[in-house]
Amino acid sequence: MTITIAVDSYKGSLSSRAVADAIERGIRRCVGSDAPTIHKIPIADGGEGSVDALISALGGEIVATTVTAPLGGKIDAEYGLYTDADGTRTAVIECCAAGGITLVPAELRNPMQATSYGVGEQIAHAIQSDCRKIILGIGGSATNDGAMGILQALGFRFYDKNDTELGFGGKELASVHHIDDSGVDKSILDTEITVFCDVRNPLYGENGAAYVYAPQKGADADMVRALDDGLRSYAEAVRRHTGKDISDMPGAGAAGGIGGGLTAFLNATLTPGMDAIADILDIESKIAASDLVFTGEGKTDRQTAFGKAPAVIAGIAAKHGVPVVCLSGGIEQDAALYECGIGAMFSITDAPMSLDCAMQNADELIANAAENIFRTYKMVKA
């Protein structure tokens, strides 16, 4: 018997690898000489955990950098690096490592001030390390600056109508009048950049970056309106400089406009993160050869069905008739989750408890739940 464990991280609690280890431990508690073959595949959908998922599977290395934090000052942030079969060096960078919302205390979160500059510094470091491909996961950002910070770190200069160079943060978007790229290293423009993007929000408007995501990043109603107006003005400045209209481009509003900004200035390609990771790791062949699949994440709800990791795993398994169990920290049951291929869903909690308690004890709770699930599976198969 072969079991594949392909789980996302439990955000704020356990990495995807730690979750997979706990599930394996639970399964092995109730097997003897007929122990199954277990394949563990840490996965991510482009946000936190993407570096671990790819680097641990592909045998790369972790690179340490010191970069600018979202509200200024310096922080240590890591990215991954691996070498393709053809010798091309590829960097895997997560926005959340240098520009993530969790880097900013809740009471200080302010997308008018926050910058993605540190992410740009990581990209520059990777390019200086001879990387010619960049994979950028943009989930969990603290910013709403249209990628201005990233671009500033790479040599782009933004000016207002009085030819005054602009600073950092979403507050500067409305003032962008013209852009100077004469100081940008040509190697940056020759680098292949793939952005893992799992949302299709336009740059601005009621479904855009500011109205949908800025409140989560600390914006009040006045800030939201100012940021949305800024993104409208920014889109026009981008169009004048590049000839590209990113205003209605699906995914342009991702991560506060990073999706649109990098597409316009660096010719980045936006792609669904989990689909791309599944291809890179050849997950389908592993699932096709399995008898049972475990997947899961911190919280599974209706949004999971729209391209999050467990839904993609379940869809692959359904193609090959392999049953899928979703084991998550929390479950909000919805018919759409079964329709995407999940056979059964379970929460790790086994008694009334607070979220903090569940997160602190997640490792053992996961193992216990996995043991009970597998005992049930064995009884049904007997």
CATH of the domain at 200: 3.90.1510.10
The answer on 107 and 185 residing in a single domain is: yes
341 and 233, same domain (yes or no): no
Per residue in 312-324, pLDDT (tens digit) is 999 999 999 999 9
Phi/psi-derived region of residue 157, left when phi > 0, alpha when psi is between -120 and 50, beta in every other case:
beta
Domain boundary among 273, 297, 320: 273
Q: How many domains does the chain have?
A: 2
For residue 58, what pLDDT is reported? Answer: 85
Same domain, residue pair 161 and 190? yes
Confidence of residue 106 (pLDDT cuts 50, 70, 90): very high
Q: At 334, which CATH number? A: 3.40.50.10350
Residue 266 lies in a domain: yes
Domain-located, residue 157: yes
- Answer yes or no: is 13 within a domain: no
Residues 189 and 318 in one domain: no
Establish if 16 belongs to a structural domain: no
Q: Phi first, then psi: what are they for 46, rounded to 5°?
A: 115, -15
Q: What average pLDDT does the structure give for the chain? A: 94
45 pLDDT exceeds 80? Answer: no
In eight-state DSSP terms, residue 164 is P
Do 255 and 291 fall within a single domain?
Answer: no
Q: Which helix (H) or strand (E) holds 81?
A: strand 74-83
What is the arithmetic mean of pLDDT over 80-93?
A: 94
Residues 268 and 137 in one domain: yes
Q: Indicate whether 282 belongs to any domain.
A: no
Task: For residue range 199-222, list pLDDT tens digits in order.
Answer: 889 999 999 999 999 999 999 999
Q: Does 92 fall in a domain?
A: yes
Within-domain flag for 379: no
pTM of the model: 0.86
**50-58 vs 273-280: helix crossing angle, rounded to 10:** 10
> Does one domain contain both 78 and 203?
yes
Residues 262 and 302 in one domain: no
> In a 10 Å sphere around its CB, with 0-12 CB exposed, 13-18 middle and 19+ buried, how is residue 74 labelled?
exposed
Question: How far is the C-alpha of 149 from the C-alpha of 156, rounded, in Å?
Answer: 9
Are 314 and 208 members of one domain? no
What's the count of helices (H) and strands (E) in the chain, helices before strands?
15, 15
In a domain, 367, yes or no: yes
What residue type is 298 in one-letter code? G
Same domain? For 186 and 328 the reply is: no
Structural domain range at position 325: 1-8+34-41+287-349+361-372
200 and 113 fall within a common domain: yes
Residues 260, 302, single domain; the answer is no
